Amino acid sequence: MFLLEDSRNIQSTSFREMISFVKGLVAQFDISAAGTKVALATFGKKLNTEFDFGAYNSLAEVEHALDYVHLENGDETNIGKAISYAHSTLISHQRPGVPHKLIIIINGASSDQKEASKAAYLAREDGVEIIVIGIGSQNNTQLQDMASKPASNYLFPVTEFPKLSSIGDQVKQKTCPGAGPTDTPTDQSTAEQECQLRPAEVVFVLDESSSIFIPDFLKQLAFVSNLINLFNIGKDKTRVAVVSFSTNATVDFHLDEYDEKSELKERIGKIRYTGGSTNTGDALKLVNDSVLTSEHGIRSDVRHVVIVITDGRSENYIDTQVQAEALKDSGALVFAIGVGSYVDDLELQGIASTPSDHYLFKTTGYDALPSIKDTLAIRACGQTIQQTIGRR
């Protein structure tokens, strides 16, 4: 379990560096229902449970959840209550023969040192290993009181947040001895199985407004191409269309144009960046009126999946919501992917099908899109989503 400080001692850029460090650690774990489970809470003036053990059972889902963890900037650093909470959570979820690890990342002096020392002692007595990462100039005695013994093996001080990467390997070995990098083959194989078995009509709606730099636009196209690798493309199998939008929306190609995966991917690579404003509503309307139509051979006996990728707010919030509702009312399952920090969370929730926590994804940037690929594919293709077909 991770406990991350989110007090006013920490700026948002430093907090994101802390999240990136955590992502690097969890990438070494075999995260699954039967393997390693991860929980995370933040602490400052108050304690925030971000996600509990078992909430996410794949690396992609944990990484996705980490993108949603935000800085609260409380005016105190109440670590004692946080350790007590972590202790009770770890014990209540204990599994025979499975070690309990608590990783604390703290930047400022504790506001409740006596309570923190007592809470840490009780947790250690119950078999919880406590790893403490102290950032900046701190009272090492306080940190040593919290860490497992000998403290020299469990306390990792660094001078500043950018230096977290310098202790990554040491913390990985202490957390999970023998850990090595993983590319989560289980997630990918599950995604491939789900998407090979079930045909669908899939429409990608891609933002190409001026808020996107050309290198990031190309990363967006690469993400789409890699996602298509998981699909069983064919006339009677899964078919793909693409709509791109900026000031205007354009159908790049329809569902009935490409039956071969190689030709489809080659065509995606030729989509050109235009720049302009963010007319998301027009793009959703175009999907409903011109793509998912009988004119282009839409099939009523397969699921209709729409995947919207955007990194900004639409020009017309109300129209975007109206068009999204019309699209969902037609029977389409709509996934919304928000990239970066300038998206409107409420707008994304309105675009996505319900429940939004199943259909809404957020990433810190275009570089992070690959982290959601397998989970997105499993949810788009898998039986875990209630399928709505035949409404057109």
pLDDT, one tens digit per residue, over 107-162 is 877 778 889 999 999 999 999 999 999 998 767 888 999 999 999 889 999 988 88
> Is 367:63 a contact under the CB 8 Å cutoff?
no
Residue 392 covered by a domain? no
Q: Over 60: is that where the pLDDT of 46 sits?
A: yes
**For the whole prediction, is pTM greater than 0.75?**
no
Phi-psi region of 276 (alpha: psi -120 to 50; beta: other; left: phi over 0): left
The last residue of a domain, from among 141, 175, 209: 175
166 and 189 co-located in one domain: no
Q: Using alpha carbons, select from 282, 285, 232, 294 the residue that is nearest to residue 259.
A: 232
Give the Cα separation of 4 and 44 in Å (integer): 9
171 and 244 co-located in one domain: no
108 and 7 co-located in one domain: yes
Q: Using alpha carbons, select from 29, 16, 101 the residue that is nearest to residue 66.
A: 16
- Read off the CATH number of the domain in which 104 is found: 3.40.50.410
Q: Would the CA dihedral through 356, 357, 362, 368 be positive or negative?
A: negative
124 and 190 co-located in one domain: no
User: What does DSSP assign to residue 27?
Assistant: T
Residue 349 C-beta-side C-alpha neighbours within 13 Å = 6
pLDDT in tens, 339-358: 988 899 899 999 999 988 78
Q: Over 70: is that where the pLDDT of 182 sits?
A: no
The last residue of a domain, from among 140, 175, 210: 175
Residue 197 covered by a domain? yes
274 and 157 co-located in one domain: no
> Is 244:276 a contact under the CB 8 Å cutoff?
no
- Would you call 385 exposed, middle or buried from its count of C-beta atoms within 10 A (0-12, 13-18, 19+)? middle
Alpha helices in 235-372 (DSSP H): 261-268, 280-286, 317-329, 345-351, 356-359
Query: Confidence class of residue 27 from pLDDT cuts 50, 70 and 90?
Result: confident
Give the Cα separation of 354 and 181 in Å (integer): 34
> Is 38:58 a contact under the CB 8 Å cutoff?
no
Q: Which of 54-58, 180-184, 243-247 has the lowest mean pLDDT?
A: 180-184
pLDDT of residue 186: 46
Residue 391 covered by a domain? no
Q: Is 49 helix (H, G, I), strand (E, B) or coil?
A: strand
Residue 388 covered by a domain? no
170 and 259 co-located in one domain: no
Cis peptide, bond prior to residue 150, ω within 30 of zero: yes
161 and 191 co-located in one domain: no
110 and 243 co-located in one domain: no
Give the Cα separation of 55 and 84 in Å (integer): 20
168 and 205 co-located in one domain: no
pLDDT in tens, 258-311: 999 999 999 999 999 999 999 999 999 999 999 999 999 899 999 999 999 999
Residue 194 covered by a domain? yes
Residue 169: which domain range?
Answer: 2-175
Total domain count, the chain? 2
